[in-house]
Amino acid sequence: EPEVTQTPSHQVTQMGQEVILRCVPISNHLYFYWYRQILGQKVEFLVSFYNNEISEKSEIFDDQFSVERPDGSNFTLKIRSTKLEDSAMYFCASVEGVGGWTEAFFGQGTRLTVV
Amino acid sequence: AQRVTQPEKLLSVFKGAPVELKCNYSYSGSPELFWYVQYSRQRLQLLLRHISRESIKGFTADLNKGETSFHLKKPFAQEEDSAMYYCALHSGSARQLTFGSGTQLTVLP
């Protein structure tokens, strides 16, 4: 069964450093998402991406964040200058989207620790 | 703005007992409601969506628009049901999911 794959599973970075989280969505899916979950809190929407552009973003997704689909298979989330409060589990998701919005398939997550 | 509320962070029941995980939502339009489950060390996966009105692993959930609720129920809980359960709302215009804070269900032997 096709899966959304995320790498790395755990990333430790120093405050102020740039990080790139990588995701490979399911190949025929059209909608891509990043969510995050700070320890002990709810899963929060960050950004959605469709047709090679951001379709929606939350207040969390400020100028420090960017997303890219550089090669038609990877979908990346970049944080330019990490802060301690960026420490969280980051989930990528994709949706097939043909004929309407359907089930979101999630990756296993990347745990980002900013020290 | 849409919101999903799961009032119980933790819920414990004994094996064979009925279980109900509560979910309330606020949204002015016609929402789509989902239950996602996350077993220990596994990814979030879809359990149910209200549109399909099906029973998965013995779980059912009915959308009650009058009470704006989408509670998840199972008549006889099993130990393998122990997991984190998230209620989520999809609103057509937003094209993204709004999650509740989750309920950790523990089924005791």
B92 touches chain A (CB under 8 A): yes
Domain spans in chain A, listed from the N-terminal domain onward: 5-98+105-114
pLDDT exceeds 70 at position A17: yes
CB atoms within 10 A of CB A19: 20
Question: Cis (ω within 30 of 0) for the bond into B18?
Answer: no
How many alpha carbons lie under 13 Å from residue A61 in its C-beta half-sphere?
A: 20
CB contact under 8 A, B98 and A50: no
Q: Which residues pair with B13 in a beta bridge?
A: B107
CA distances from B108 to A44, A58, B79 (A): 30, 39, 6
CB contact under 8 A, B92 and A101: yes
Q: What is the mean pLDDT of residues B52-78?
A: 91
Residue A97: its pLDDT value, please? Answer: 77
Q: Using an 8 Å Cβ cutoff, are B105 and B82 in contact?
A: yes
Q: Which CATH architecture has domain A5-98+105-114?
A: Sandwich (2.60)
Q: Which of A6, A55, A67, A106 best tests the B interface by mutation, with the highest count of B CBs <10 A? A: A106
pLDDT category of residue B93 using cuts at 50, 70 and 90: low
Residues of chain A with C-beta less than 8 angstroms from the C-beta of B100: 42
Residue B14: its pLDDT value, please? Answer: 97
Residues of chain A with C-beta less than 8 angstroms from the C-beta of B44: 43, 91, 93, 106
pLDDT exceeds 60 at position B94: no
A50 touches chain B (CB under 8 A): yes
Q: Could you tell me if residue A17 is left (phi over 0), alpha (psi between -120 and 50 degrees) or otherwise beta?
A: beta
Quick check: helix, strand or coil at residue B81?
helix
Domain spans in chain B, listed from the N-terminal domain onward: 3-108
Nearest to B14 by CA among B81, B77, B95: B77
AA identity, residue A86: D
Give the helix/strand (H/E) hosting B87: strand B83-90
CB contact under 8 A, B100 and A42: yes
Give tens-digit pLDDT for A27-74.
989 899 999 999 888 899 999 998 899 988 999 999 999 999 988 789
Q: Give, as one character, the DSSP assignment of residue B79.
A: G
In Å, how far is A110's CA from the nearest CA of chain B?
11
B31 touches chain A (CB under 8 A): no
Tell the CATH topology of B3-108: Immunoglobulin-like (2.60.40)
